[in-house]
Amino acid sequence: MTTPQTTTNRDELWVIESLRLTAFPAAPFELRPNDWWQGVVGREPDKQVYRAGDGVRQDSGAIQLEDDHQALLVLNVTALRIDWMLVAPPISSIETIGSIPSIGAPTVGIPRFQQLMREWLQRGDAPPLCRLAFGAVFLRSVPDLPAAYELLAPLVPWTPEPEATDFLLQINHPRPSRVEPAVTINRLSKWQTATMDFIALVPGTPRLIPERRDVVARIEADLSSDAGRSEEIPGDLVVDLLGEMAEEISEGTTRGPRR
């Protein structure tokens, strides 16, 4: 059976490079074996790493999304933070011809990631949390930099002249949460242009040769609750905050900064 390629054709629209949920425990907790990854996916992870001396545990494995894209779900756990990430798995240069590595469309990847994270938060064995952050990186392949500026123009208050060679704009608009006004949500957005260099390893030799260079428009959205909060966020509220953040992240490629 052929494994679906984790790539997206150039003529498609915005795709997800990565998704991330970071949970901050209200107090340092004991790092011990857990079945969090298995609990949300339904099977053992493909790889488990536990470094007791460094206080780090990592579980990871491939999962299938509804649009036949494959993604790598990674769980990193330390005593001070818990990171869940959904990223494109490593792929060969043959699979990337005419494509950029991704985990597919936002309309598929974000709801699936939100579902997995909601299941984890509702399990009842996660530590009490004082802060939550939801991040996403979106990419869209374009012919050249002027095309990237034109694509980003409706989303940002200012874009450079076509002959400019670099563009990066970052804005944070903190405001009260819609589900709990006592919680402040930082809404950090970053718009930029970038190049992606693809290289190929010559079989049987240590040589690397350039394969191609892609120009992309890149949007990074990061929503997080107030870093200054130290008290526990009630479990039901954490799930509601996850939903609020996922909804706003989903709008990251269609609207500019919220005020």
pLDDT at 219 over 90: yes
Q: What is the pLDDT of residue 45?
A: 94
CA 149 to CA 144: how far, in whole Å? 9
User: What confidence tens digit (pLDDT) does each residue in 26-51 have?
Assistant: 988 877 778 899 999 999 999 999 88
Q: What is the mean pLDDT of the chain?
A: 84
| Cβ neighbours, 10 Å, residue 107 | 12
User: What confidence tens digit (pLDDT) does each residue in 101-133 have?
Assistant: 889 899 999 999 999 999 999 988 888 999 999
Which residue type is seen at 66?
E
Which residue type is seen at 202?
V
pLDDT at 94 over 60: no
For the chain, which residues make up each domain, given as ranges?
7-250
* Mean pLDDT across 77-98: 75
> Tokens in use for 207?
């040589």
Q: What is the pLDDT of residue 11?
A: 34
> Tokens in use for 255?
């609207």
> Tokens in use for 63?
């999962």
Q: What is the pLDDT of residue 186?
A: 95
Select from 192, 95, 89 the least CA-distant residue to 139.
Answer: 192
User: What confidence tens digit (pLDDT) does each residue in 141-186 have?
Assistant: 899 898 999 999 988 888 788 888 889 999 999 999 999 999 999 9
CA 184 to CA 240: how far, in whole Å? 14
Q: 82 and 76 in contact (C-beta within 8 Å)?
A: yes
CA 102 to CA 140: how far, in whole Å? 10
